[in-house]
Structure 1
Amino acid sequence: MNIPTRSAIFLSLLFHRTVLSLQPPAPRAIVVGAGPVGIAASLVLASRHGYDVTLLESSPETSIQTKYDPTKAFLYNVNARGQTLTKMFPNLHDKLVKRSVESKGFADATITVVPADPNLPIPKSSKLEKSFEMRNNENNEAGNAMPKSEKAVGVGYWIPRHEMVGLMVECIDEHNEKGEGGKISFYTGKECTSVSPRDVGGVFVEVYQADLVVGADGMNSKVRECLSHPRSAVGGWSLDCPKPNYFKLKKWRSPASFLRIKVLQLPPQFEIPDAEGNPPLITNSENIYAIRSIYKGPRNYLSLGLLPMKNNTAVRATNIVTRPDHEVWKLKDGNAIQTWFEKAFPRMNFNGMISNEEWDRFARAEGTRFPHCQYSRGMAVWDENGDSGVALVGDAIHAFPPDIGQGVNAGLMDVVCLDRALSGLDTVTGKEAKSAKENDKPSLGKNLARYQKQHSPEIASLIRLARFGAPYQYRQPHRADRILRTLWTLNVAMRLILNKITFNLVPPTCIILSQRPELTFRQVMRKADLTTLFLKVVVFGLIGLRFRPRLEILSMLKP
C-alpha cells in the first residue's frame, strides 16, 4: 500500500482548489417578501435553477409569519392551480395534505346553517347547495340562490395562513439540510426601499446584490414602486423593458371593494344552544358553519361564517365582513360590542364563551379593507446585456377581494410561470418555447421578456374575473346591493340555462369556468365573452323583431 508523500498531498489540495476556483460561482437571487408566494419563489430558484437565494422579510421576527395572528387569521383553499406549485415539491405537498381539510367543491361541501331564532331547532348539516336553496326560500330573495350546477373540479385544501407559511419554512430548512442546489438565507426585519441596476452587473436591493430580484412583497410592493420611477438614459434597464408607467397600478372598483374585515376569536369546540329539549351542538373545526343574526337592515345585517381547519383544539376565527358604515365599526368599547352581539345573536351564550379581553381587542381593532381589482401591466425588467433583472409575482402584480378564491392560487401560479420562463419554456403550456431566431442564445433577459409577454395577458384576464366572478357573496345589505345582486344572479341563471339547453355549446358563467384548472384565466374569460356575445345577439335580434313592423311602415311612408 502506497502512502502519499507530503508533496503529493499538497499538489492534490492545490489541484482541487484550482478546479474549484475555475468553477463559476452560483448565480444569486434576492426574493423580497416571505409570504407563501415569496417562499415558493425561493424554493423554485434554489432547487430548480441553482440560485443562492437571499429571502428578505420586513416583519421583525420569523415567528410573526408562522404563528397565529388574529389580524391575519384567514384561511387559504389551495386548489388545483395552486397545487401545480406544491406538487413540484413532494414533501411540501405531503405536509399540505396532512395539515389541511380536504375540499371537493360546492357539490361535496356540507354546512350547518344556524337560525337566528333560538326557538327553532338547528337543522342537520346539509350539502352547501341545499343550504343556499334553504336560505333563498327563507328570505325569498333570488339573489341568494346558489346554482345547482356550480361544482368545483378537483380537490382543494383548507389551511390557515400561518400554518401554510410554517410548513413552507420547514421546506426551506429541509432544502438547506440536503445541500442540493443553491442555499436559501432567510433574513427578517429587512424592508426594501430601493432597487437599482448597476453598471458593474447585477441588481442591488439595499446593500444586497444579485443577478435576479423577485418582488413578492404584496399589494403595496416597494419593488414595483421602485420600477415605476423615471429611469436614467445610461446604465439602466434595457430599452425593450416595459416603461415605468407600466408599473403603475390599473384599478377597477368591484361591489366587494372597500368592504371592511376584522376577526372575532371563538374558543375551539364551542357550543351552539339548540331549541328547548335538544342538546347543544358542539362545533367541530372541520365543519362549515353559518350563524345568522336577527338583524336584516342595511347597516346592521351580520352573519358569522366559520370555514374548515384541521386543528380541533385551536382558536376558531370568524371574519366580520361588512360595509364601512355598519354599526359594529362605531362601537369602540368591549362592553358595548358584547351587548350588540348578544342582541344580534340571541341564541348564542357569548357571555360565557368570549372573554372581556377578546371583546376589548375586537372593539379596538380597525381591521382592513378589501382592495380594488388591480394589476400592474409591467411584470419584469432586465439589463441591456440580459444578465440580470427583476420579476414580480403574487400581490405585487395583482390584488383583488377574496371572493373568487384565487388569491394564493394565482400567486403560486405566477411562480410556476416564472419557473417555466427561466427554464426556457412557454409560460402557458410548459412546453419548449419557440425562439424568434434558432441561433438565439438563452439568457435571463430573454426569459424575463417571455414572462412579461406571455403572463401579462393572463393577469389582465384574472382581474376581469375578479371584477365579475362572484362580487356579491358577502350579501352586502344595502338596497342597491340587493337589487344588483338579484340582477347578477339572474345573469348567472340565464347563462346556466343556456349552457344546459345547448348541451354545453354556450359556456356557463365565468366563476364556474374558473373551477376548471385546465383552463387558463384567458380561456375562462374568452368563453364567458362568447356567452355575452350570444346574449347581445339574442337581445338585439328580439329588439329588431319587435320594431320591424314600425320600420316597414315608416319605409312605406317615405316618398
Structure 2
Amino acid sequence: MLERRPTLDAEDADRSYVYMIDWRGRSMTDAAGVSEAVAAAGVSTTTIDFMQAGRREGAGVLPDGKTKSSVIQIKDEMRSNVWLPRTAFLRALSSGLRTAEAAGRVSLLHNTEAADIRLGAAPAPGPASPSSPAASRPAITVTATDITTGASRTFAPRLLVGADGMNSAVRAALERHEEEERGAGAAAAAGAGGEGRFRPVVLDSPAAGLRFRVLQLPPNAPFRRPPPGGGSGGEEAGRLENGRFGKVVGVRAPRLRALALGLLPLRDPAAPRSANIIVPPEHEVWAQTSGEALRDFLQASFPQLDIGALMTPQQLAAAATSRGGVFPRPQYLRHFTAVVPQPQPHAAEPAASPAAASGVVLLGDAVHCFPPDLGQGVNSSLADAVALVKALDAAGGDLAAGLPAFEAAAAPEAAALAELMTFSYPYQYNQDPVARAFWTANFLMRMLLNKVAPWAFEPHSFLLVQQPIPYVEALRRAHATTQRMWALAAALAAVAAAFLVRAAMGVPPS
C-alpha cells in the first residue's frame, strides 16, 4: 500500500471533516474487524439532535444568542449511523492494518507515491535467457518514489488497485494503455468524440462548484447569549456541545455575504471542533486573505461568537490562506477494471495460462465522486472494497473472471448513486433559498403520501438511500414515486377541472 502522507491519521486542516458511517460502511468495518473501534471513536445517532435557536424558526444559534433544542426527523430513525472525524476513522482502520502488517500480509509505505505506472509492457527483444524468461516479465510495473528521500522502488503487482481519488493516476495509466492498444488514429478519434472506456460520465448538481472551508474551534465552543428574562445583567455563556449537531447562523446579509457554520458531533468532549463554511465561489469570505481580515469578517457575521478568543492568530492566518475545497460535479465511470494479459513469450517458451493474467481495478472516488450531500462518499467506497473481495473470492482468485464480475455488479450502482446526487439533497447548503423551499415541499409531500399510502408512495430518496437496498433500487423507487405523484396531480387536476366546468354550466354536484 502506497500512502503519500507520513501517517494515516496525519492532520490536514482542509480535510478535518466528519464522516458518517452507515450500514454500507459497516459491511467493510465488520469484515475488517474494526467496527467496535469505529463505534468507540464516534457518536451513534438515529436522529439529528440540533442545538437550535431563536428568532428564525429552524435556524441555529442566532446573533442574539437565543437557543433551544430540536430533534429533526430527517433521517431513518430505525437505523443508527456513526459520526466521527476523518482522522479518528483512519486511526480505527489502522488497527486492522497493523494486525495485517504483523502477519506479513500487508506492507504500508508512507511518504510514498506512484511516480510511473506501465501496463502491458512487451517482452524485451532478443532471445529469452533462462534467468529472464519472457513469460515471467511483468504485465504491470509501478515505480514508487519516497517523497522525503527521492529513493525509488519498482513493483510488479498481479493486481493493481487504484483507490487514489477523482484525479486517479491509475485511471490515467488505464487511459494511456487504452490509447496504446487502439493505436494513435483510433485514440485521436475517440478523443475528438469525447469517448473513452475509462473517461468519466459527468452530470450536474446544484451543489457542484460550492466551496468549503474548515475552521478549527475549541472543544464545546462558547457563545454569548442574553441572561434569562432578557434583563441587562450581562451575557451568559452557552456552549456548542461536542456531542451534538450544531449550527451558528450569521447576521442577515446579502446572499454573497451571509454565513452559517455547520458543526457535526464528536464523541471526545476534549477534542477541537470543526466548523464548516460552505458557500458559492464568489462569496465575499474568499476575499479575506489575511488572518486579521478574516477575523473581522467572521466577527461581523457572528456577533454571538468571540472569534479572537476561539481562534488563534495562527489558525486565522492558516484559514485565510487556505483555498479550502470545491464540491465536484457528480461523475462516474462505466468501466473501471482491466485484465492485462501476460506478454507473449518467445516461440521457444510455453504460453502463459489465462489464469495468470494481471489486472487493474479502480475503487472509491476514482470510480464515482460527487458533493457530500448524502454522506455516501466514504460508505460507497467501503462498499466497493467489500464487493471486490466477494467477486474475487467467487472467482477463486482468477482475475480474468473476477474483475469483469465485479465491474458488472458495481457499475450500475456507481451510475445510480451519481444520478441520485443530482436531485436528492443538493439544496441543504441554502445556496438558493427559493429552490430549497421547493425541495422542502417535495420532501414533506413524499413523506405525507408515504404515511397515507405506503404501498404506492416511497419515502424521499434521502431516506431511501439509508435503507438496506442497492442504490439502483433506491433510484428506481424514487422515480416510480415521482411518476405516481404526477399521475395523482393529473387526476386531481382533472377532477377540479370537471368540477369547475359543471359549476360553470350550472350543473349541481351529484
Using structure 2 for the length normalisation, give the TM-score: 0.80
Matched, 1:408 2:370: no
1:449-464 equivalences under 5 Å are 449-464=404-419
CA distance in 2, matches of 1:299, 1:509: 30
1:383-394 equivalences under 5 Å are 383-384=340-341, 385-386=354-355, 387-394=357-364
Measure how far apart 1:173 and its partner are: 1.6
Give the structure 2 partner of residue 111 of structure 1. 51
Give the structure 2 partner of residue 46 of structure 1. none
| SS state at 1:469 partner | coil
The partner residue of 1:511 within 438, 462, 484 is 462
Measure how far apart 1:111 and its partner are: 3.0
Give the structure 2 partner of residue 523 of structure 1. 473
| Structure 1 vs Structure 2 CA RMSD | 2.6
Please say if residues 195 and 223 of structure 1, whose CA atoms lie closer than 8 Å, have aligned partners that are also in contact: no
CA distance in 2, matches of 1:312, 1:116: 23
Please say if residues 152 and 512 of structure 1, whose CA atoms lie closer than 8 Å, have aligned partners that are also in contact: no
Give the structure 1 partner of residue 483 of structure 2. 533
Measure how far apart 1:306 and its partner are: 1.2
Matched, 1:418 2:388: yes
1:448-487 equivalences under 5 Å are 448-476=403-431, 481-487=432-438
Please say if residues 67 and 163 of structure 1, whose CA atoms lie closer than 8 Å, have aligned partners that are also in contact: no
CA distance in 1, matches of 2:411, 2:110: 30
The partner residue of 2:402 within 443, 447, 467 is 447
CA distance in 2, matches of 1:367, 1:540: 46
Matched, 1:208 2:155: yes
Give the structure 2 partner of residue 275 of structure 1. 226
The verdict on how the C-alpha distance between 1:547 and 1:201 changes in structure 2, with shifts beyond 3 A counting, is farther
The partner residue of 2:102 within 166, 174, 177 is 177
| SS state at 1:194 partner | strand
CA distance in 1, matches of 2:423, 2:61: 30
| SS state at 2:429 partner | coil
Matched, 1:101 2:43: yes
Give the structure 2 partner of residue 262 of structure 1. 213
Please say if residues 119 and 340 of structure 2, whose CA atoms lie closer than 8 Å, have aligned partners that are also in contact: no
Measure how far apart 1:442 and its partner are: 7.0
The verdict on how the C-alpha distance between 1:305 and 1:178 changes in structure 2, with shifts beyond 3 A counting, is same
The verdict on how the C-alpha distance between 1:351 and 1:522 changes in structure 2, with shifts beyond 3 A counting, is same
| SS state at 1:459 partner | helix
Measure how far apart 1:388 and its partner are: 1.3
CA distance in 1, matches of 2:103, 2:155: 25
| SS state at 1:319 partner | strand
The verdict on how the C-alpha distance between 1:183 and 1:363 changes in structure 2, with shifts beyond 3 A counting, is closer
Using structure 1 for the length normalisation, give the TM-score: 0.74
CA distance in 2, matches of 1:99, 1:487: 37
CA distance in 1, matches of 2:114, 2:252: 44
Measure how far apart 1:297 and its partner are: 2.0
CA distance in 1, matches of 2:434, 2:252: 19
Per-residue CA distance 1:188-217 (angstroms, 9 max, x = gap): 322344241245354222331111011100
Measure how far apart 1:465 and its partner are: 1.2
Measure how far apart 1:62 and its partner are: 2.3
Please say if residues 117 and 170 of structure 2, whose CA atoms lie closer than 8 Å, have aligned partners that are also in contact: yes
Q: Which runs of 5+ in 2 are unaligned?
A: 54-59, 123-136, 144-153, 184-190, 228-232, 342-353, 501-510
| SS state at 1:423 partner | helix
The partner residue of 2:29 within 81, 86, 90 is 86
Please say if residues 251 and 374 of structure 1, whose CA atoms lie closer than 8 Å, have aligned partners that are also in contact: yes
- Which segment drifts farther, 485-494 or 77-86? 485-494
The verdict on how the C-alpha distance between 1:214 and 1:159 changes in structure 2, with shifts beyond 3 A counting, is same
Measure how far apart 1:359 and its partner are: 1.8
Aligned length: 441
| SS state at 2:258 partner | coil
Per-residue CA distance 1:412-435 (angstroms, 9 max, x = gap): 00001101110117xxxxxxxxxx
The partner residue of 2:17 within 70, 74, 82 is 74
The partner residue of 1:382 within 323, 339, 343 is 339
Give the AA of the match of 2:328: P
Measure how far apart 1:374 and its partner are: 0.6
CA distance in 1, matches of 2:179, 2:61: 60
The partner residue of 1:189 within 112, 115, 129 is 112
- Which segment drifts farther, 193-202 or 336-345? 193-202
Please say if residues 212 and 277 of structure 2, whose CA atoms lie closer than 8 Å, have aligned partners that are also in contact: yes
Give the structure 2 partner of residue 42 of structure 1. none
Give the structure 2 partner of residue 251 of structure 1. 202
Measure how far apart 1:472 and its partner are: 0.6
Per-residue CA distance 1:210-259 (angstroms, 9 max, x = gap): 11011100011111122123344499xxxxxxx98121111112011010
| SS state at 2:394 partner | coil
| SS state at 2:278 partner | strand
CA distance in 1, matches of 2:290, 2:483: 53
Measure how far apart 1:273 and its partner are: 1.7
Q: Which runs of 5+ in 1 are unaligned?
A: 1-54, 130-145, 236-242, 426-440, 551-559
Give the AA of the match of 1:466: M
CA distance in 2, matches of 1:419, 1:195: 24
| SS state at 1:66 partner | coil
Measure how far apart 1:171 and its partner are: 1.9
Give the structure 1 partner of residue 133 of structure 2. none
Measure how far apart 1:523 and its partner are: 0.7
CA distance in 2, matches of 1:97, 1:549: 58
Please say if residues 122 and 275 of structure 1, whose CA atoms lie closer than 8 Å, have aligned partners that are also in contact: no
Give the AA of the match of 1:274: R
Please say if residues 105 and 153 of structure 1, whose CA atoms lie closer than 8 Å, have aligned partners that are also in contact: no
The verdict on how the C-alpha distance between 1:495 and 1:450 changes in structure 2, with shifts beyond 3 A counting, is same
Give the AA of the match of 2:141: F
CA distance in 2, matches of 1:286, 1:490: 30
Give the AA of the match of 2:51: I
